[in-house]
Amino acid sequence: QVHLVESGGGLVQAGDSLRLSCVASGRAYHVGWFRQAPDKEREFVAGSTSTGSQPFYADSVKGRFTISRDTAKNTIFLQMDSLKPEDTAIYSCAASQVPWTNNRHLYDYWGQGIQVPVSS
C-alpha cells in the first residue's frame, strides 16, 4: 500500500513558477504526475523511476517542467516554470509498479489532487 499526499498548489499568473510536492509513504514506486483540466481527460505530465534517474515528460511541458525526487525523504517534486493558462488543472501524483509508463491505467495509487489555476 502506498499513500500519496500532494502540496504546493495555488493561483498563479501566466509566466510564474510553482513547485508541487508529493510525499509518498510505503515502498518506493515509480511515480508520475498527471493533470486533469475541466471537461478533459486526465493526462500524463511527467514521470520518475523509483531511483529518480532519467525522468520523462509529456511534449506539452517538456522544457518548462522538471520532475525530481528526494529518495531519502520519499518526496517527488514537480517544478513548473513559464506557466500558461492552459496548464490550469488539478494535478495528482500517482505510483506505479511499471517503470517508464505514461499510461494512467497502470498507476495503482493516487493522491487526492491539488488545484493549480493559472490566470492570463
- pLDDT tens figures, 68-112: 999 889 999 999 999 999 999 999 999 999 999 999 999 999 999
CA angle (50, 27, 51) in 5-degree steps? 15
Provide Rg for the chain, Cα atoms: 13
According to DSSP, the β-strands at 12-13 and 65-70 are unpaired
Q: Is the pLDDT of residue 28 over 80?
A: no
